[in-house]
Amino acid sequence: MSQQNNLKRDLKDRHIQLIAIGGAIGVGLFLGSAKSIQVAGPSIMISYALAGIIIFFIMRALGELILYRPVSGSFSKYAEEFVGPWAGFFTGWSYWFMWIVTGMAEITAVGQYMTKWFPHLPPWIPALMALIFVYVINLIAVKLFGEFEFWFALIKVVTIIALIAIGLVIIAFGLGNIKPTGISNIWAHGGLFPKGFMGMLLSLQMVAFAFQGVELVGVTAGEAQDPQKSIPSAINKVLWRIMIFYVGALFIIMSIYAWNQLDPTQSPFVVTFEKIGIPYAADIINFVVLTAALSSCNSGVFSTGRMLHSLGESKQAPAAFAKLNKRQVPSFGLTVSSIALLIGVVLNYLVPEKAFVYVTSTALIGSIWTWGMIVFAHMKYRKAVKEKGLPEVSYRLPGAPVTNWIVLLFLGLIVVMLGMDKDTRVALYVAPIWFAILTVGYLYTKNKNKKTETSSKEKTG
């Protein structure tokens, strides 16, 4: 293929690094961490540490596959190559749908965050402006997408580091009128497991989906300037970043405050910043979560456009999705995804909240499917290396195939935990319907491609 028909490799190492960080840090840490603490108490830190290790294994498996073949829509391509065309179809469309639903929720959230400053402004106006903004960014050039993601992620990182630094001072020395707290709050209110071992297990699903989007670095592989260098570098730092930004932040919060006294409706970040007298603390965190939501929308439009491009190349979506514009951007895929997001935003305001929960629950299954398919395709790749002499890369998943099975068992546990909670149980009801739709779609596409190939052979014959 000519360079004009290839995606442009314009994402620098710093873009990839911050995209990897941004994908691992969601709005939930800033707004919902007090709620997750109430579920498990201090053992929530163990949940994040365990899930962080699992995510690291998933990302190492993905990294090994990327270095074997760095392409856009990577895990969909790997599923197709090593598991089968049906797996590529299911993975690509599930990932597309996951990001569309996530994007709907995040764009709607942008509208809600803006009403804090402009209470009389209808929320749909900033939501629409946000969608147009990220659509235009993605339409212009991949480099611009990377630049915005860099700064969006940096804002989140700086905020967390500020909380950790201020918290350490309060714990060790006190600050102003605040006396040193020490770290006894971690175990002084019912121990490390105040809700029992089951409390920790029930928190795993909340924790796992805090990392939804961490695999986005795989979608960037086809547009990274030097994927052989930047992808392993970004993935190798995932684990310690999770330990610092999640486990570290939660350790600070639960050291300063007794876990059972945290208000689940309040952000611990706001409470901490207000406690030391930082003016406009609530406005600062509102700005942070606004940029985090915009980052998620930006990533959603980017990844869905690339996944449709990948599906178009594999003839598992209309051929128009495979085409690039003169700036080597999959503009048709970006446009269709943005229209889908727009429809979703409208529906989000019109349909009852309960109905929207059913749709978003499918997104949870989409993440589990994608992560599971990454490690399963990796096992098939390793088998092909041994049996078929496929090129072997030096960057490896440690402990494979044992670690592959550990990941799959962990993901199975998450599915079981979804069924234990009445709010997330609906995901297990919606999932069979979604996969039934995908089955029909795959069979239709397969039959259509077969007829096209037969017709083409008859003409040439």
Give the pLDDT confidence score for residue 259 in this predicted structure: 93
Give the span between the Cα atoms of 89 and 315, in whole angstroms: 10
The answer as to whether 78 is a domain residue is yes
Is the separation of the CB atoms in 381 and 69 below 8 Å?
no
For residue 329, pLDDT beyond 50: yes
Structure confidence by residue, pLDDT tens digits, 405-442: 999 999 999 999 988 887 778 888 888 999 999 999 99
Alpha helices in 389-425 (DSSP H): 402-420
Q: What is the dihedral of CA 211, 364, 29, 27, to 10 degrees?
A: 100
| In-domain check, residue 456 | no
| 252 domain-assigned | yes
The Cα 382–Cα 291 span in angstroms is 40
Q: 178: which strand partners? A: 175
pLDDT at position 158: 92
Q: What is the DSSP letter of 260?
A: G
Residue 452 lies in a domain: no
Q: How far apart are CA 337 and CA 346, in angstroms?
A: 14
CA distance 234 to 67: 13
CA atoms within 13 A on the CB side of 194: 18
Residue 28's pLDDT is 76
pLDDT tops 90 at residue 363? no
Give a yes or no: residue 330 inside a domain. yes
pLDDT at residue 385 in the model: 95
Segment 154-180 shows an average pLDDT of: 90
The alpha carbon of residue 263 and the mean position of all alpha carbons in its chain are separated, in whole angstroms, by: 26
Average pLDDT, whole number, for the chain? 89
pLDDT band at 1 (very low <50, low <70, confident <90, very high): very low
Residue 374's CATH number: 1.20.1740.10
Task: Read off the pLDDT of residues 259-317 as tens digits, 9 standing for 90 and up.
Answer: 999 888 888 888 888 888 888 888 999 999 899 889 888 888 999 999 999 999 999 99
| 224 belongs to a structural domain | yes
Do 328 and 148 contact (CB within 8 A), yes or no? no
> Which tens digits make up the pLDDT trace of 80-102?
999 999 999 999 999 999 999 88
User: Domain limits at 84?
Assistant: 3-446
Tokens representing residue 401 in the block: 């195939």
The model carries a pTM of 0.93
**What's the rounded Cα separation, in Å, for the pair 182 and 175?**
13
Number of structural domains (the chain) is 1
Nearest to 331 by CA among 293, 304, 295: 304
Residue with token string 């029909």 = 440
Of the pLDDT bands very low, low, confident and very high (cuts 50, 70, 90), residue 356 is low
DSSP summary character for residue 4: G
Tell me which H or E stretch contains 211.
Answer: none
Give me the phi and psi of 224, to 5 degrees please.
-80, 140
Q: Which of 94, 131, 70 is nearest to 441 (CA)?
A: 94
Give the tokens for residue 213.
């989007």
Q: Please report the pLDDT score of residue 115 as a whole number.
A: 87
Task: Indicate the SS3 state at residue 325.
Answer: coil
453 falls within a domain: no
Share of the chain above pLDDT 90, in %: 51
Residue 47 lies in a domain: yes
The answer to whether 92 touches 310, Cβ cutoff 8 Å, is yes
Please report the pLDDT score of residue 375 as a whole number.
Answer: 97
